[in-house]
Chain A
Amino acid sequence: MKDQARYFIERRGGFAGLKASGSIDGDALDPDDRQLLETLLESTEPLAADPGADRYTYVVTRKNALGSTTREIPESVMPPTVASVVTTEI
C-alpha cells in the first residue's frame, strides 16, 4: 500500500516568492529519503519554521489508498532529492 503513494510537492517563499511544484511516485524516491519524508509527514511534533528570512517552505501532500496527508516542511529538514522534484513555471 505504501509503495503506491504519490507525493505532491509545492515550494513557497524564497527571495523571489515564486511558487514551484512537482510530484513523484513513492517508489521512485531514494529509500532513505523516502523514509525521512515519511517520518516528517507522520511526526506529531510541530516542525518549527527555519529562522531568518527568504527561506523556502515545502508543502508536501501524500496521496495513497488510505487518503491524503499534507504537511508544511521547512527547507532545512527537507530531503534534497525530494526538494529537487519541483520546477518553477514562468
Chain B
Amino acid sequence: MRDCVAVEEAWRGLRNAQTEAIQTSLLASGITTLQVAGILASVPAITVYDCKNTRSLPGSPVSNPVRSTDITAKRAFDTTRGVVDFYRQCFDRNSVDDAGMTLMSSIHYGVRYDNAFWNGAQMTYGDGDGQIFLDFTKADDVIGHELTHGVTQFTAGLDYSDEPGALNESVSDVFGAMFYQWRRKQTVAQADWLIGADLMGPAARTKGYACLRDMAQPGSRHCLSPQPSHYRDYIPGGDPHENSGIPNHAFYLAAKAIGGRSWEQAGKVWYAALTSPKAYRLMTMAEFAALTRAAAGSLFTNDINVYRGVDDAWTRVGIPSDDISV
C-alpha cells in the first residue's frame, strides 16, 4: 500500500512536470489559445502542499487532498477547484493563464502566519494567529482573490504600486467577492459585499470588526482595513490595499445598479476590461474605467442599463467619462 502511494505520488509529479513543460513550450512558441492548450489540460491539475509550519515552499505534497483528514488541505483543494469552475463557467477561462496551468497551493505556511499570498507561481496560506485572523483557507473570497492575482499576472500584468497596484488589488477583491456570491447563488441584493468576513477571529469580532474590507462601505468602522471610496481621497504612495477601495466601490455601485447576479453582467464587463488588449501594466484607474465603459457598451448593446450603471458608478467615485476615452 505504501509503495502504491509512493508510486502514485511519483506518477502525479511526473504528470504535472510534463504538463508544465508542455505549457512552457507552447508559451515559448506563442501558442496560447484555449483550443490548443485545452487539449493538454481541459481542467487544470490542482495540487496541495503542506509547509508544516515552516517557511519553506512549496512544502511536502499532500497525496490525496480531497480525502485528507486535514480540513485545511481539503478546503484548499475544494475551493481552488471551485474557483477553476467559476472562471470556466462564467468567463470561459481555463485556469489562471487560460492554458490549463496547474494550480499549486501551500498550506500551514509559517507559524500563526496572518497572511495569504500569490508568489507569481502559486498560492500560499497561513493558519492565522487564531485571535485576529483564522485559517486563511476558510474564506472563499480569499482563495478567489489570490488566484485572481494569477489571472491579472497573465492578462493586464498590472504593476503593484500606485494606481495600477490599487487596480491589481481591486480586481482580486472584485473576482473574489463574485466567486463568493457565485458559490452561494446570491443576487447583488443578497450579497454582503464584505471581504475577509470569514477570516475574522475572536479578538477582531470582540472589537466590532466584521470584515477586512467592505465594497459597499469602504470606510465603514466595521472594516479592519478601512479604505477611501472616492478618487478625491486617493492616498498618494498608499498601499495597494488602501486605494483599491475606489475601484472596489465602483464595481459595487455598477453591480447594484445593473441588478441580478454580479458575474452575469458587471463581472463580464470587468473581465473584458482586464483581458482587453488595451489593458497594460501601468494602467490608471481612469484608463481602466474607460475600458469598462467601452466593454459595457459593446457587450450589452441591447441593454443600455449596463452602460449606464457602469458609467454612473465610475462617475460617483470621482472618475467621470470625460477623463479619458479608448
Partners in one complex: yes
A89: nearest residue on chain B (CB-CB)? B132
The interface stretch among B29-37, B80-88, B110-118 is: B110-118
CB pair A12–B212 under 8 Å, yes or no, is: no
Q: Which residues of A contact B224 (CB under 8 A)?
A: 16, 18, 90
CB pair A17–B114 under 8 Å, yes or no, is: no
Given contacts A53-B160, A80-B55, contact A16 B118 (CB under 8 A): no
CB pair B225–A51 under 8 Å, yes or no, is: no
Q: Which residues of B contact A17 (CB under 8 A)?
A: 212, 225, 239-242
Smallest CB separation, A36 vs chain B (Å):
14
Given contacts A16-B224, A16-B225, contact A52 B117 (CB under 8 A): yes
Is residue A38 contacting chain B, with contact meaning CB distance below 8 A? no
Is residue A34 contacting chain B, with contact meaning CB distance below 8 A? no
Bound-complex Cα distance A55 to B113 (A): 12
Could you give, for residues 45-82 of chain A, a 1 whenever the CB lies within 8 Å of some chain B CB and a 0 otherwise? 00001111111100000000000000000000000100
B117's contact among A12, A18, A54, A90, by CB below 8 Å, is which? Answer: A54
| Chain B residues touching A, majority SS | mixed
Q: Which residues of A contact B242 (CB under 8 A)?
A: 17
Bound-complex Cα distance A80 to B169 (A): 26
Bound-complex Cα distance A28 to B113 (A): 23
How many interface residues does chain B have, given as a range?
A: 35 or more
B148: nearest residue on chain A (CB-CB)? A53
Given contacts A53-B172, A90-B132, contact A16 B114 (CB under 8 A): yes
User: Which residues of B in the span 101-116 have a Cβ within 8 Å of any Cβ on A?
Assistant: 110, 114-116
Could you give, for residues 121-153 of chain B, a 1 whenever the CB lies within 8 Å of some chain A CB and a 0 otherwise? 100000000001100100000100110010011
Is residue B196 contacting chain A, with contact meaning CB distance below 8 A? yes
Bound-complex Cα distance A13 to B244 (A): 13
Is residue B207 contacting chain A, with contact meaning CB distance below 8 A? yes
A52's contact among B110, B118, B132, by CB below 8 Å, is which? Answer: B118
Bound-complex Cα distance A34 to B204 (A): 33
Given contacts A16-B212, A90-B132, contact A56 B207 (CB under 8 A): no
B115's contact among A51, A54, A90, by CB below 8 Å, is which? Answer: A54
A residues contacting B by CB (< 8 A) are 12-18, 49-56, 80, 88, 90
